[in-house]
Amino acid sequence: MSMAFDILLALGIVFTAGTALGLRDRIASVTGFVITGLLIALSFVRLGAPDVALAEAAIGAGLTGALLLRSALRLKPAEGSKSPALQRFLAASIATGLSCALAWAVYTAPGTALYPALVSEGLAKSGVDNPVTAVLLNFRVWDTLLEIVVLFAALVLVRIIAPAVPQPEALGELMLPFMRVIIPVCVFLSGHLLWQGATVPGGAFQAGAMLAGGFLVLFMGGLALPTPRVMAFGKALALAGLAIFALAALATEALTGTLLFYPDGDEKIWIIAIESALTLSIAAMLYLLFCGMPRRPAK
């Protein structure tokens, strides 16, 4: 029974993806992308990875969908030049061949499970109970630090390119009541996800994405428009998160002698502190990535 569900879901994913890539109407393509993203999030739940499912739904489908929609409305469609049939045939055959080879290669790989035992062993002393949070914020926190640097680099890049800020249109009458409901929900849910990430699925990234969603709703309602003050505040939040993270890393080295090795017994405090800073920072970064970062006009 459950296997039939998985097969249907997998087929649905491939079908919506193919449709999204093949449609002419760009808005429909983006919508197809968001739907595929949500189906994939569902598949992550089926695969036993709820933290990842949350992140994929919020960031992968939600935020990326918002970004793509923003661009779909602005970009002119390219001339409908179709590639010659021979090229398409070749590309299709090579793509099919490679994809089958890939699936076969992964399926037949022996796969020794090394990590789970090591994770369970280290979980008790890691300061949290959720193994994914433990990996992200303790065992492999160096990866997480570099990941935030990726967002930082994207932000600097967007600032250099300085695209025009999207102008939200006046939305209908239901917007204000909607906002009155959704914004508090976003804030509470974000804080809840952050706190509960220590024991059950959740964490800084999911919470940050939730908060960013709230900011974007404010933006759509015309209340958090990227004025210079809002921009400055957002930029400060975004940069502060990375700075705090990096300084905390140096501090752990000063305290314990090893980089990012939390002092014994205090692991949970360090993790929560870093995660809180990260949540606000990620929310600000995602908001700024969406709104663009216009340069100050020349004086």
Partner 1 sequence: MMSELSLIVLLPLLAAVGAAAMPRSAGLWGLGATVVTAALAVSLALGLMNGGGRMVAISGMAAPLGIRFVADGLSVLMVLMTSSVSIAVALQASSWGVWPNRVVPERAASLRAGFWPLWLATMAAMNALFLSGDLFNIYVAFEILGLTAVGLTALSGTPAALRASFDYLSAGLVGSLLLLLGVAMAYSAIGRVDIAAVPVLSDLVSGRIALGLIVAGLAVKAALFPLHFWMPAAHSSATPVASALLSALVVKAAIYVILRLSIESGDAMGSLRLALALMGTCAMFWGAYGAIRATRLKLLVAHSTVAQVGLIVMAIAVSGETAQHAGFWQAAALLMVSHALAKAAMFIAVGRIAEELGHDRISGLNRDELRPAAAEFAFGIAAVSLIGLPPTAGFIGKWMLIDGLIERDAWIWVALVLTGTAMTAAYLSRVVSRFLRGGPHISARAEQPAWRIGDLAALGLATVALLLGLASAMPLALLEVTVL
Partner 2 sequence: MTPDFIYIFAGAGLVGLAMYRLATRRDMLLRVLALNFLAIGVAMILQASAFGETLTDAVPQAFVLTGIVVLVGVTAALLALAEQIDGHDDE
Q: Which of 28, 47, 255, 259 binds partner 2 (CB under 8 A)?
A: 47
Q: Tell me if 71 contacts partner 2 by CB under 8 A.
A: yes
**Phi, psi (rounded to 5 degrees) for 239:** -70, -35
Using CA atoms, how far apart are residues 285 and 226, in angstroms rounded to an integer? 13
Q: How far apart are CA 240 and CA 296, in angstroms?
A: 21
Spatial CB neighbours of 206, under 8 Å, sequence gap ≥ 6? 51, 54, 55, 58, 193, 197
CB atoms inside a 10 Å sphere around CB 214: 22
Site for partner 2 in 263-282 (CB under 8 A): 282
Greatest alpha-carbon pair distance for the chain in Å reads 67
Residues in contact with partner 2, total (CB under 8 A)?
92
Residues of this chain that interact with partner 1 (CB under 8 A) are 102, 105-106, 108-115, 118-119, 122, 138-143, 146-147, 149-150, 152-154, 156-157, 159-161, 235-236, 239, 242-243, 246-247, 249-250, 253, 256-262, 295, 298
Exactly one of 162, 187, 259, 273 binds partner 2 (CB under 8 A); which one? 162
Assess 257 for contact with partner 2 (CB under 8 A): no
Q: How far is the CB of 224 from partner 2 (least distance, A)?
A: 18
Residues in Cβ contact with 29 at an 8 Å cutoff, skipping those fewer than 6 apart: 20, 21, 23, 72
Q: Give the nearer residue to partner 1 in terms of CB position, either 214 or 241.
A: 241
The SS3 assignment for 194 reads helix
Place of tokens 């914020």: 137
Q: Which does 95 bind (CB under 5 to 8 A by kind): partner 2, partner 1, none?
A: partner 2
**For residues 151 and 186, which CB has a smaller minimum distance to partner 2 in the complex?**
151
d(CA 201, CA 155): 28
Q: Interface with partner 2 includes 83 (CB under 8 A)? A: yes
Point out which span in 11-19, 227-235, 239-247, 252-260 binds partner 2 (CB under 8 A).
11-19
Q: How far is CA 195 from the centre of its chain?
A: 18
Residue 181 CB, nearest approach to partner 2 (Å): 26
Distance of closest approach, residue 87 Cβ to partner 1, in angstroms: 16
Nearest distance from C-beta of residue 240 to partner 1, angstroms:
9
Chosen from partner 2, partner 1, none, partner binding at 261 (C-beta under 5 to 8 Å by type): partner 1
Q: How far is the CB of 67 from partner 1 (least distance, A)?
A: 15
Nearest-approach distance from CB 93 to partner 2, in angstroms:
10
- Nearest-5° angle of CA 39, CA 44, CA 47? 130
**Site of tokens 């992964």:** 106
How many Å apart are CA 284 and CA 271, to the nearest integer? 20
60 binds, among partner 1, partner 2, none (CB under 5 to 8 A by kind): partner 2
Segment interacting with partner 2 (CB under 8 A) among 7-15, 175-183, 251-259, 260-268: 7-15
Which residue, 99 or 227, is less far from partner 2 as judged by CB? 99
Q: Read off the tokens for 16.
A: 């919506």
* Tokens read off for 72: 């779909």
Write the secondary structure of 24-40 as one string of H (helix), E (strand) and C (coil).
CCHHHHHHHHHHHHHHH
295 binds, among partner 2, partner 1, none (CB under 5 to 8 A by kind): partner 1
Q: Does 38 bind partner 2 (CB under 8 A)?
A: no
